[in-house]
Every structure is written in structure tokens, then in C-alpha cells.
Amino acid sequence: MTPEPARPLDDARTLDDATRALDVDALIDDAETRIVVCCGSGGVGKTTTAAAIGLRAAERGRKVVVLTIDPARRLAQSMGIDSLDNVPRRVKDVDGDGELHAMMLDMKRTFDEIVEAHADKERAEAILGNPFYQSLSAGFAGTQEYMAMEKLGQLRSRDEWDLIVVDTPPSRSALDFLDAPKRLGSFLDGKLIRLLMAPAKVGGRAGMKFLNVGMSMMTGALGKLLGGPLLRDVQTFVAAMDTMFGGFRTRADATYRLLQAPGTAFLVVASPERDALREAAYFVERLAADDMPLAGLVLNRVHGSGAAQLSAERALAAAENLEDNRIVDQGDGKEAVRSSPEHSATPETSETPTEAPRPGQTTPDPRDAPDAPAGSAAPEAHETHTDADASEEQLTAQLTAGLLRLHAERMRLLDREQRTRDRFTSLHPEVAVTEVAALPGDVHDLAGLRAIGDRLAG
Amino acid sequence: MSRLQVVSGKGGTGKTTVAAALALALATEGKRTLLVEVEGRQGIAQLFETEALPYEERKIAVAPGGGEVYALAIDPELALLDYLQMFYKLGGAGRALKKLGAIDFATTVAPGLRDVLLTGKACEAVRRKDKQGRFAYDCVVMDAPPTGRITRFLNVNDEVAGLAKIGPIHNQAQAVMRVLKSPETAVHLVTLLEEMPVQETADGIAELGAARLPVGRIMVNMVRPAPLDETALRLGLDRPPRKAIAESLSAAGLGDTRRGGGAERLVEPLLEQASEYAERYSLEEDQRAVLTEFGRPLHELPLLSGGMDLAGLYELATALRKQGIA
């Protein structure tokens, strides 16, 4: 066996100098920070991160509301709330002077509220009862994103909370929520809407004459495509919404500016996997292009090892060694260990073998020899073994081999995570990063969220 | 075997990977499959290590035994223009519609139209026949939206058929629904052995069932190897024979057993990893039991320790074939 020096890469499970560490506590303690937006691809622990940050900020004295979009039931339960709805509910058993409130976006309810707030009663009823509106508010691509931003704007303007933590929708593109307000805004006061409204008004509009396709042909084509009744529903809807269009546009713009304002901080959440980090890199670039303030990257579910000095290759070789010997032992109990250079997976052969101590030997060795090569395991000891001893010894060897295989698996995972992470940091060295160590199970209660918060804060 | 196989699952469970492996597995023995992508993510291209896919069916892989896998990234805007051209010869007017924002409206804002176009295109590929009257593809595999949206996505045609009560969109929506609700279709759900994805799988099965959409198989992805069996786990964790383990490690050449020695220093971290493993193992067993109760065919795909690549994809396809997926 040849010793292998511990590689610095394996030891460095903390951030290296090249990467800035993200100081989560500084961010949430800063009274200037009023909005934290958590974004990232699906399945990376975005919602849990948002809840953990909210709880931590509350327990550090701030009055916090967490706006989740699509929480797992379990997460709501972990905050002691059976079901979350469209109004903030106070979370009990939060330590300290702060407060934590949580709510879940109800897309349709939020849309209805806007209509009710901006149209007189009669008109509001007409809109709410329109079949086209009912579909639009419940399902169209982007409503959820738009309504999340709308809700954020509402919460912020009430000025009731020190800090609003937002979890973004699991969009097909993680960036839909940035585009949705603009898209809806530009649709609602766009040319098409005016065209659709035209038949409901008198004549058309003079401004439409630049179109070289006849108006009747256009509405005719739309009518053919959508079917007459649907087109009429759309036209009625659009006419009823007419007075609100300006409002939508203004609000969409205001929300967009709110996201760019100082006081807003974006956290990109990812797990150390290729796809998640690719999406994260895309996010970082898009936020920069839109002048959105990025606070940093939260890297969830990072694995570590207390025995990182032992590489996967060496652990596997040792496991094989133990398993081979079990078979050999059945023949004669003498040779406990074969000297097996073919099992050595590492090229390093710099150290000379030292005499290995016998089991139980306690004489201190001045050399620290964690990688002392296998010498012997006191062959004569085996001769005194009874059958029971032998079988127990076999069990231990089997157990140890299992432990080593488990470790090898862990080390491979570590390596892979490190490589993916390095790829991201070399692409975006300017992004501050905090790593959250993987938990073996899911989060079930405030204590679990607190533990994540501790890990987030490093 | 269903000719339209829809693959959904919670975000992060590896839907695209499983869909691709399934398309490969179903393409063996000279068959031809089409792998379609509907979310504009170009996940298929990344997986097969090719450049971005255009809105065009092209061959991306050859399966063992001479089968072929084609891929298509459906672009709703182009799909709509396709339809307009096909049904109305609206070439020029199509461009004018685009200028007006009507296409953008139809594909991004109008309720459900986008999804109608996406599922419509997939169903068209399912039904398409060549000149000899044979199906163009033996099977179409769709990398679909996540579990949280899958029922609405597939069922949107019902909603649209109700909204547009007459006209070609109405007819189109109804035709699509006939395919989706028939045994021609199977919706598979990808999960991990973790609580939240399993919970989403349960919700997904209930929602699909309520919408009378056919639930297919449950695919458990990224199943980790079990290097410690239960006996070893119990022995190792109840009263870990620390000294004997240290001796074993030492015998295997990993340093000596005295305090601070190489082998001795490994014992605690290794046992700690084993205890984390045991916790995870028991959670995974619980989740496996929950999944079994759903009474759907259950498949397990191994976690690839080197990360996902093309070779890994073939490995997963082989695993699926061995489990009798075709």
C-alpha cells in the first residue's frame, strides 16, 4: 500500500479564497434590506431556503413576512400552519422579539382583488363573471408570475413589514417572473387589444390604418381561429377591462423598478448539480442584464466528510483488500493481509513503508502516520482465535469494508460537487457564495428550519 | 404499449433524463421513437451533447439493435404558424398577426392556447402515418411539465374546448383529448426516494385520476447503492466495535490503531457517515413503502456516481429494458 497525501481539494470543504463568502446575517440584519427574492430552478430547496431565511431574520428581531408560491404542505406544517392562504398568518413559537408571518399566493384571489379595487361594482361583476377572465386569471402562462410580483408590490406598499422574503414560482423558465409584468403590461395596452376592442367601439381607430391587412380580414381570421363566441367573450372582457389597462401598465413598471431598487436583494438558490448550477449561472447573467441587485448564491445540499484525507480510490482498494482476506482466511488464518500493490490506485510511492504497530500497541510513535502503509496485522494472533472469534472478525471485516465503500461513494460525490461548483465560480468569480450542508432527512418543524438557517449563515 | 408516453415528476427529479432513457429503451429492435420537449429548455440537446434543437424532427441517437431516436423541441409560436398555414393558408396574414402581437398573445397570454399547441403537436406525431400506412413513430415520449402543472397541461384541451365552443380550436382540442384520455397514452411520474417528491407523486396520481388521465408507471430515479446491508448497519450502529474496526482498517493498510493513528482517526468519521446513511436508508425504505402502495408498476434507476452523461443515458436505458419497460 502506498500512502497518498491528502489533497488540498478534499480538505477544502470551506470556500477558498477566490470566492467571496455570502454573509447572510449581515444581509438580513441590515435595516435597509426590505425584500429578499429567492430564485432558482425547481427542486433545489428554494422554498425551504426562503422560509429558513424568514425565520432567522425574525429571530434576529425583524418583522418578517414570507411569501411562498407553491409550498409543499409539509413546509407549511413545519411553520405550524396547516394551510397557507392569501393573507399573512403569524407563525407561533418564534424566539426573540421579531415576528414571522407566512402566506401563500392565491393567484385567482389576487387577480380578483385587483379587479375589485379598480373597477366599479357593476363593471367588476361583469369582469369576474366573464368566461375568458375566469380562464385567464386561473391559468394563463405568466399569471402566477405576474400575481406574485403584484402581491409583492402590495405587501411592500403597506409598509407593515421590515422584511419581505419571496419565493419565486417554479416556472418553465426560472426567469418568467421578471418578464411577466412587462409581458402582461405590453399585451394589455398593445395593438392587439385595441384591435379586439375596435368592433365593440364605434368604427375602428384612425391609427390602425397603417396596417396593410384589412381590419375585417383580421377579426375574421381571429374569429375563425377562436370561434365566434370566444371572440365575443374576449371583446367584452377587453372592453370591461379598458379602464384598468393604464393601471396594469403602471403597476407592472412600478414592480419592476421595486425589484431594481436598493433594499431588494436577490438570492440565487442552487444545488451542486450540473443543471441547477447552469440555470443559476443563467440567472446571474440575466439579473445583471436587468440591473437587479444580486446578493449571492445559496448552494444547498453540499456534502462533506470528516475523513476527506482518505480518497475514494484508497477506500475502495482497502475494502477489496478486506473482502479478499475474508476468503483467504477461510483457507488458513495466517496471512491476514496480502501485500497488494495491484490494489493501489494511486501513483504516489514516495514514502517508504514503516513498520506497522501491532493491534493494541500503545507505544507513541513520534511520526504522525495517518497513512502508514499496511505492514502486518500480527499473524500469530490468529492462531489463538476460536471459531466464534473468527466469525466475529469476519463480520467486522465485512462491516469495515462496507464503511469504506460508503466512504468511497461519499468522496466521489464530493469530487463531483466540487467540480460543478468550480465550473460555476470560474464563470462568475464575483458572486458571493454560501454553502448549506446536506441534511439526511426533510425539514419538519421550526427546529429544522432553524438548523438550515444556522447552516446558511455559515 | 401506449404510443404516447408522457414523463412528468417534481422539479429536480430528472424528468428529462428519464424521458430520454425511455425513448432509447423503447427504440430497440429497429423501432423508431420521437422524444419531444415542450418547455423550451433545450434539455434534450444538453443531454445528448448536441447543439440546440430546431423546430424540426431530427435523429439524435441510435439505439442498440438498430433502433432510432428522433427529437423535437416544440416551439409554440412556430407550431401555431404551422397550424394556420395547414388549415387556412394564412402565410401573409400570419406575418401580420405576428406583427400585431396576436401570435405572442396566442402562445403566451391566451389561456391554454400554448398548451393546446404543444399537446396538439405531440398527438399529431402519434397519429402520423407514412405512405404505406404505418405509423411514423412506434412511440412518442414527451418530456412534460412538472407534476404540479401536468394535469392542467394535459387537461387544458378540455378547458379550451369548453371556452371555444365552436371553430377549429374547439375541434382540435377535442381530438387531442381523445388521444390523451385513451389507453394510447400513459403518464409516468418520476420521483426520488424523498418525502416531497413522493408526496407530489401521490398528489399527481390523484389529480390525473380525477381528470381521467391515464397514470402509467412510477420511475424512482437516482437510487443510491446500498453498500451496507441491514445486519452490518445494526452491528455498526448499535454498539460499534470501534477497536475492531480500527484493527480492520489497519489490516487493510490504512494506518495504525493507536490514538491519533491513521486507522483510529478514520473510525469516528466513517461511523458518522454510516449513521447518516442509516437515517437516510430508513427514510428511503419508508418512501419506497409509500410508493408501493400506489399499486402502479415501479421502476428504479440507479444514481450514476460519475454524474449524468451520454454513456450514463445508455446505462439507464438498459436498466429500463431489463425491468421490462418495452
- Does residue A37 sit within a domain? yes
Q: Which residues contact A160 (CB under 8 A, 6 or more apart)?
A: A63, A65
From the list A358, A380, A157, A109, the residue with the least C-alpha distance to A254 is A157
- A336, A379 Cβ separation under 8 angstroms: yes
Residues A186 and A90 in one domain: yes
Ranges A78-87, A308-317, B69-78, most confident: A308-317
CB contact under 8 A, A372 and B13: no
CB B213 within 8 A of CB A287: no
pLDDT at B41: 77
Cα distances from B8 to residues A67, B165, B189, in angstroms, run: 26, 29, 5
Q: Of A306 and A142, which is predicted with more confidence? A: A306
Q: Give, in order, the Cα–Cα distances in Å from A78 to each of A27, A37, A445.
A: 24, 21, 4
The sign one gets for the Cα dihedral A371, B278, A455, A268 is positive
Higher-confidence position of B64 and A247: B64
pTM: 0.80
Q: Which residue of B has its CA nearest to A181?
A: B109
Alpha carbon distance A422, A458 (integer Å): 19
**Domain co-membership, A137 together with A229:** yes
Q: Check residue A266 and give its pLDDT.
A: 95
Is A186 within the bounds of a domain? yes
Mean local confidence (pLDDT), B202-210: 95
Looking at residue A58, its pLDDT comes to 97
Statement to judge: residues A86 and A200 lie in one domain: yes
Rounded to 5°, the CA angle B77-B83-B89 comes to: 115
Question: Do A290 and A418 lie in a common domain?
Answer: no
pLDDT value of position A227: 62
Q: Which of A234, A399, A413, A415 to mutate to test the interface with B (most CBs of B within 10 A)?
A: A399
Report the number of distinct structural domains present in chain A. 2
Contact of B256 with A357, CB cutoff 8 Å: yes
pLDDT at A418 over 90: yes
Facing B12 at nearest CB: one of A1, A43, A337: A43
CA of A399, closest CA in chain B: separation in Å?
A: 5
- Max Cα separation, chain A? 108
Q: Name the residue range of residue A386's domain.
A: 1-17+308-355+371-422
Contact flag A224-B168 (C-beta cutoff 8 Å): yes
Q: Which CATH number does the domain housing residue A70 bear?
A: 3.40.50.300
The nearest alpha carbon in chain B to A335 belongs to: B251
Give percent of chain B with pLDDT exceeding 70.
89
Residues B166/A229, Cβ–Cβ less than 8 Å: yes
Q: Is B40 on the interface with A (CB under 8 A)?
A: yes
Interchain CB contact of A305 with B (< 8 Å): yes
A416·B97 Cβ contact <8 A: no
pLDDT value at residue A122: 85
Please give the share of chain B, as a percent, with pLDDT higher than 90.
52
Distance (Å, whole) CA B124 – CA B136: 10
Which residue from A42, A135, A364 is facing B163, i.e. has the nearest CB? A135
Domain match, A380 and A397 both: yes
Residue A429 lies inside a defined structural domain of this protein: no
Q: Among residues of chain A, what percentage have pLDDT more than 70?
A: 63
Residue A15 reports pLDDT greater than 80: no
Integer Cα distance of A104 and A321 in angstroms: 55
* Distance (Å, whole) CA A340 – CA B74: 56
In this prediction, residue A77 carries a pLDDT of: 75
Residue B104 in grid coordinates: 405572442
Do residues A338 and A217 both lie within one domain? no
Distance from CA of A329 to the nearest CA of B (A): 13
Co-location of A346 and A294 in the same domain: no
| Statement: residue B30 has pLDDT above 60 | yes
Average pLDDT of A100-114? 87
Residue, of A205 and B166, whose pLDDT is higher: B166
Residues 6 or more apart in contact with residue B222 via CB below 8 angstroms: B13, B14, B192, B301, B302, B303
What is residue B321's predicted lDDT score, i.e. its pLDDT?
93
Interface of B with A in 289-308 (CB under 8 A): 305-308
Task: Check whether residue A119 and residue A205 sit in a common domain.
Answer: yes
How much is the mean pLDDT over chain A? 75
The pLDDT tens digits of the residues spanning A51-101 come to 999 999 999 999 999 998 765 666 777 787 777 788 899 999 999 999 999
DSSP class of residue A200 equals G
Determine, for residues A131 and B148 on separate chains, whether the beta-carbon distance falls below 8 Å.
no
B224, A405: Cβ pair inside 8 Å? no
Same domain (yes/no): A190, A330: no
Among A224-233, A400-409, B168-177, B283-292, the range scoring the smallest mean pLDDT is A224-233
- What pLDDT does residue A372 have? 39
Range from A81-90, A226-235, A247-256, A366-375 that averages highest in pLDDT: A81-90
Q: Residue A98 has what DSSP assignment?
A: -
pLDDT surpassing 70 at residue A300: yes
Residues A4 and A75 in one domain: no
Query: Is A307's CB within 8 Å of B266's CB?
Result: yes
The Cα-based distances of A105 to A110, A114, A176, A446 in angstroms read 8, 14, 16, 21
Q: Which residue of B has its CA nearest to A176?
A: B108
Residues in CB range of A222: below 8 A, 6 or more apart: A196, A231, B102
Spatial separation of the C-alpha atoms in residues A358 and A360, rounded to whole Å: 6
Q: Are residues A194 and A284 in the same domain?
A: yes
Say how many CB pairs under 8 Å bridge A and B. Answer: 274
Q: Are strands A99-104 and A89-90 parallel, antiparallel or unpaired?
A: antiparallel
Which residues, numbered 107 to 126 in chain B, qualify as contacts with chain A under a Cβ-Cβ cut-off of 8 Å? 108-112, 114
The answer to whether the CB atoms of B266 and A173 lie below 8 A apart is no
Residue A290 clears pLDDT 80, i.e. is over it: yes
Within this chain, do residues A54 and A192 fall inside the same structural domain, yes or no? yes
Q: Is the pLDDT of residue A186 over 90?
A: no
**β partners of residue A38:** A167, A267
SS (H, E, C) chain B: CCCEEEEEECCCCCHHHHHHHHHHHHCCCCCEEEEEECCCCCHHHHHCCCCCCCCCCEEEEECCCCCEEEEEECCHHHHHHHHHHHHHCCHHHHHHHHHHCHHHHHHHHCCCHHHHHHHHHHHHHHHCECCCCCECCCEEEEECCCHHHHHHHHHHHHHHHHHCCCCHHHHHHHHHHHHHCCCCEEEEEEECCCHHHHHHHHHHHHHHHHCCCCEEEEEEEEECCCCCCHHHHHHHHHCCCHHHHHHHHHHCCCCCCCCCCHHHHHHHHHHHHHHHHHHHHHHHHHHHHHHHHCCCCEEEEECCCCCCCHHHHHHHHHHHHHCCCC
- Reply yes or no on whether the pLDDT at A382 is more than 60: no
Residue B31 confidence (pLDDT) above 80: yes
